[in-house]
Amino acid sequence: VQLVEFGGGLVQPGGSLRLSCAASGSDFKFYAMGWFRQAPGKERAYIAAISRSGDSTDHVDSVKGRFAISRDNTKNTVYLQMNSLKPEDTAVYYCAARFGAALSGVEGQYSYWGQGTQVTVSS
């Protein structure tokens, strides 16, 4: 599985962005997907995950109510809608895939990673 993220950029505090992650191949529907981010000077951290069917999701507390993960298996794409962005959301955002149904926030359980897309929240 090859993953490519789109949609990063510069946005003002309080603004919104939608990240997309396009997956190659026909097996996308067999993979649970996750979003992670790495802020400057920090380790990469888990944000959200979605089951392979899309009927289960998980978000870390710091983004609950602001971010939403979703997927469209007909388009081989997973999304991260980000609203009410804060300067502390500034990071490189990565999508990742793990074979199977279960959600996971553990980086080591993901086998495939995108190259990342920069999100900068600043006025």
- For the chain, give the percent of residues with pLDDT over 70: 99
State the DSSP string of 90-102: -EEEEEEEEEBS-
What pLDDT does 18 receive? 98
pLDDT category at 13 given cuts 50, 70, 90 is very high
pLDDT category at 102 given cuts 50, 70, 90 is confident
What is residue 61's three-state secondary structure?
A: coil
Total length of the chain:
123
What pLDDT does 60 receive? 97
Q: Which tens digit of pLDDT belongs to each residue from 45-92? A: 999 999 999 999 999 999 999 999 999 999 999 999 999 999 999 999
Examine the pLDDT at 26 and tell me if it is beyond 80. no
What pLDDT does 25 receive? 76
State the DSSP string of 7-57: --EEE-TT--EEEEEEE-SS-GGGEEEEEEEE-TTS--EEEEEE-SSSS-E
Give CA–CA dist 5/19, Å, rounded.
7
